[in-house]
Every structure is written in C-alpha cells, then in structure tokens.
Structure 1
C-alpha cells in the first residue's frame, strides 16, 4: 500500500533549502527522526544549496567532491561555511564546510559552469525492467517492520517523499552472495519546482540512497545483529545533462573492489529514455565486527 503524501516532498524541500545568515554563511536543520545520525544525503544536498546560492543562476553545478568527516547529530543545527575560492571566466568554484559544535563534519568542493555545447558520447543504459510493478521501498519496509518489529531503526518519514523501486531485493536475514551490482528506479512523489538548481540539490540527496550497500552484495552478512559498521567516507558526483527528479530515473550501481574495511561504489543515473545524466562514486566503511 503506497501511502506517499505530496506534503512530504514540500517538507523535504523546506529542510534542504537552508537559512542564509550572511553572504557565505548558512544554517541547516535536520528533521525529527529516530535515526542516530544525520543522513549523509541531507548534508550533501544542504551543502550544494548553500554553494548554489552564492553562484550566478546561469551557472549550474557540474561536479561535487566531498568527504564525510564525522557523524552529524540530528538534534543540533548544522552551520555551512562557503568559501568563494574562484570566480573564473568559465568556471566557478566553491568550497563548503559543514560544522557542528565547532568541528567539521563534512568538507566539499563544487564546480559550476555555464551550459555549453561540446563533443558527446555515453554508455548505453542497461537493459532492465521498468519501474511499473516493482515494489516501493515504503511498502517493503512497512512489511519488514510488521514482520520483524524492533529489528531495524525506523526509516525517516521524509524518505517517503521519494518513490524508490529496487530491481531485485535481497533477504536481509539470509542474504545470498550476488554480483556487486544493483539498480533502482526513483522519482519524487510530487511535482518539483522548475528551477534546475532544485533538481540538482534533490538528486544529491537521493544519490546517497542504496549506494553503499552495493559493496555488500558479494558477502553473505545479515544486516540485523550489528556485525557491520557502515558509514559513507566520501562522495563524488558529475552532472552531464539536464533532468527532472519528478520523472522516473534509473540508478545503476556497481562495486569493483572492497578491501581494507572499505568498499568502492560507482553509479550511473539515467533518464527513463536512456540519457546518462549523472555519474557518481562513493567509498564506504564496511568494517566487520567480531
């Protein structure tokens, strides 16, 4: 039963569009939730919103590189300091640091460019089933929590502002070893504003969903039980073309290597008609506790 509400998207947008305190100083808040730390995608998105606010509207973000330094506390505001490091003839660069209690929790660099024409090529979109008929995350987790009460943290309500539909789901309690590859369809559950910057910010939020779990696919470790300590370490995005996140998009992910308690993940985000519009990469901590 899909009980999405358009009001959830409005609330999520409100949280991501943070308060401007000064020319290069911003303050963000986290929604009330049961999760013990701030969702990494929220910090990514709020940092991008802060940087975008200091850049001319004609220039759009084309790359983001960030490091998650400390776990964010959801009950404390996050201060975002923007460094206008460069305003060039073709590119604008911003450095953004997210701070809580006087300590950096996230550090990033973003580059903006006025859209222009150039040489084009792309990898084809994988041949996968469409989103129609696939189970949504909201419905899946409702079933899981009813069948196994208390086994998992309650997912933040604002996650339901996005309709996620995995191509294939694993058994959480008895996972089989699988190739380190997965895919998910997604879109917002209501219409977004027409501003391209709003779609970039929202996709930054979405891009951290499901991503790190790709590196766990070859390993038969059950998620309940606390055997895996996981956390995003860094995150990168490259924006290639225009898109709308209120229309179906396909996120294809793979993990070519895990070692040293870390797993590397790569992602390609396509529009439903097969245009590759965003590429992503992330390394995550996947430490196995004994």
Structure 2
C-alpha cells in the first residue's frame, strides 16, 4: 500500500544536469507506466528550469511508446524559448534509447486580465455526501470471489469519490459524462510545483475511459486495445490538491477507433482551475 510521500518522491525527478533529469516509476497494477506519471514528471522537470515567477499555463503531449515501469526514464528538457513574458520547454522522455513521450510546455509571467468561466455543472453532489471509490469497490467485489478488482489509486494516497459510478463488473451503458471529487491525503507544502505536479498526475485518471461509458464493453475488454494517444492541459490558476477538487469529464465524440475526451477541474467553491483534453485509442480486435 503506497503512501503519498512515496508518490511525491517518485514524481520529484532527479536532476542529473541543468536540463537532464531521471525518474523512476511507482509500480501499479497496470501493464505499462501510468501516463499521468510521465506527464507529472515531465512538468516537474521543466518547471525546475524556469524562474519560479513564471508559471505553466499549457502543456501539449504525445504518448509514443509504452513505458517500462522497471526501468528509469530519462527526461531531456530543451529550453527552446525564453522571452519577455513567455518561456517554452520541450521535454522528451526516453527509455532504452527511444522516445516514449514528448511534450511542449509554455510558461507565462503572471498577469491580470479579463475573466469569465463556465460554472461547475448544476446538481453536482458534494464529496461529503459520496462514498469513496475504494470503499465502494471493496464492498462490491466482496460478493464476487472469482473476480479481481480493477486498478484504482489506494486510499492511502488519494481519496476519490465518483459522482456517477458504473458497476465495476457489469456496467449499464451510460452517458459519456461523469466526474469525481478527489483530495490527496496529508497536508502538503505551499510549493506550487508540488500541487501542480500532483494535479497533472491525476489528470490522466478515468479520462480515456469516459469514451467507453456508452458502450457495453465489459465483456469485450480482452478484445479492446486501449491507450492514451495525447494529452493537453491548461492551468488557469494556482490550486491546492490537498483540498477537495472536482474533475468533470465528458466525451463528445468516438469514431475511427479513437475517443475524444475533455476534463475540467473545479475547486470546492466552484472555481475552474484547470482543463484537459485527450484522444484515446479504443480499437476492438476481431
């Protein structure tokens, strides 16, 4: 059972040189490195090559090859632009001499400007009124001795509470729209990079599978080849991940063996703090 400090140690990549970093993986019950880990390690590395007064506002990434959780990952940061208001960093993650991931991250000098936002979806239950996903899964799987529980982050790291959970074994088709509240357990420091790194880490969770919700695929999972293809993220304002945040997810379109998914992060008091978008491969094999 992993603790939050173990996750933080994993995401805080080792600096080998000015623009070269090395990270390891926290083993999870997945066949490859969890995409959110590589995203978080990349932004953690890039942010440490920028003056702390500049904050990331956007990240655009591609997953190129599956990562091996047993091998270190090298993060090569390219300082391609340092301007008066914006800085750009390109990050390539490598294993065995081959790129498994690349991204561009843009940083901006903090400025004031016009403001508006789309509000938290009306009728969203509050986290205090919801059961944790881990407790719910344990309760359901206790009735199925022959079934293995799906991957879920342990409650010792983060408390996740879904607002529209599907049955984990035999889900009924549902609208491609849902969400979950989450809060990392334990009091974290005030370092913005720590909170941003953890927000990036969880941004990949349940995003791709949003496109599976309308389709009765549970019995076909052995025939489905699924993988995150890309990932974009926009940081609208500073945030604390040791306080409740709501991640609202939807999938406007699926076709061509790809599902397009979007996400919006809201604070407990309804501020839109970050947004995401991703295409995922969902290929049904014969």
Q: TM-score range by the shorter chain?
A: over 0.9
Instruction: Report the alpha carbon displacement of residue 202 of structure 1 after superposing the two structures with TM.
Output: 0.7
Structure 1 residues 281 and 136 mapped into 2: Cα distance closer, same or farther (>3 Å)? same
Q: Note closer, same or farther for the CA distance 1:85–1:153 as it changes in structure 2 (3 Å cut).
A: farther
CA drift at 1:158: 5.7
Partner of 1:23: 18
Please say if residues 34 and 153 of structure 1, whose CA atoms lie closer than 8 Å, have aligned partners that are also in contact: no
Deviation digits for residues 228-283 of structure 1 (CA, Å, limit 9, x no counterpart): 22111100000111211111011111111001100000111110111111011011
Q: 1:76-129: per-residue Cα shift (whole Å, max 9, x none)?
A: 000000000000000000000000001100000000112110010110111211
Q: What aligned pairs does 1:10-159 form with structure 2 within 5 A after superposition?
A: 10-127=5-122, 128-148=124-144, 151-152=147-148, 155=151
Per-residue CA deviations over 1:179-223 (Å, capped at 9, x if unaligned) read 110011011011111011111111000101111111111111116
Q: Is the 8 A contact 2:134 2:154 kept in 1?
A: no
Q: Distance in 1 between matches of 2:218 and 2:203?
A: 24
The whole-number CA distance in structure 1 between the counterparts of 2:20 and 2:239 is 29
**Whole-angstrom CA distance in 2 between matches of 1:246 and 1:267:** 19
Q: How does 1:175-194 map to 2 (within 5 A)?
A: 175-194=171-190
Aligned 8 A contact 1:66 1:109 in 2: yes
Tell me by how many angstroms 1:133 deviates. 3.0
1:138: Cα distance to partner?
2.1
- When residues 191 and 223 of structure 1 are mapped into structure 2, their CA distance, relative to the original with a 3 A threshold, is farther
User: Which of 198, 202, 210 matches 2:198?
Assistant: 202
What's the TM-score once normalised by structure 2's chain length? 0.94
Match of 1:227 in 2: 223
Query: What residue ranges of structure 2 are gaps of 5+ in the alignment?
Result: none
Higher mean displacement: 57-66 or 142-151: 142-151
- What's 1:163 paired with? 159
The C-alpha deviation readout for 1:138-188, integer Å capped at 9, x for no partner, is 223334554445644763766741111100111233322221100110110
Q: Normalising by structure 1, report the TM-score.
A: 0.93
C-alpha separation in 2, matches of 1:125 and 1:238: 17
CA contact (8 A) 1:25 1:80 kept: yes
> Runs of 4 or more off by more than 6 Å in structure 1?
none
Q: Check whether the contact 1:9–1:158 (CA below 8 A) recurs between aligned residues.
A: no
Corresponding residue SS for 2:211 = helix
**1:238 counterpart residue number:** 234
Instruction: State the partner residue of 2:258.
Output: 262
Give the 3 Å change call, closer, same or farther, for CA 223–91 of structure 1 in structure 2: farther
For residues 145 and 136 of structure 2, the distance between their equivalents in structure 1, rounded to whole angstroms, comes to 14
Distance 1:276 1:236 in 2: 16
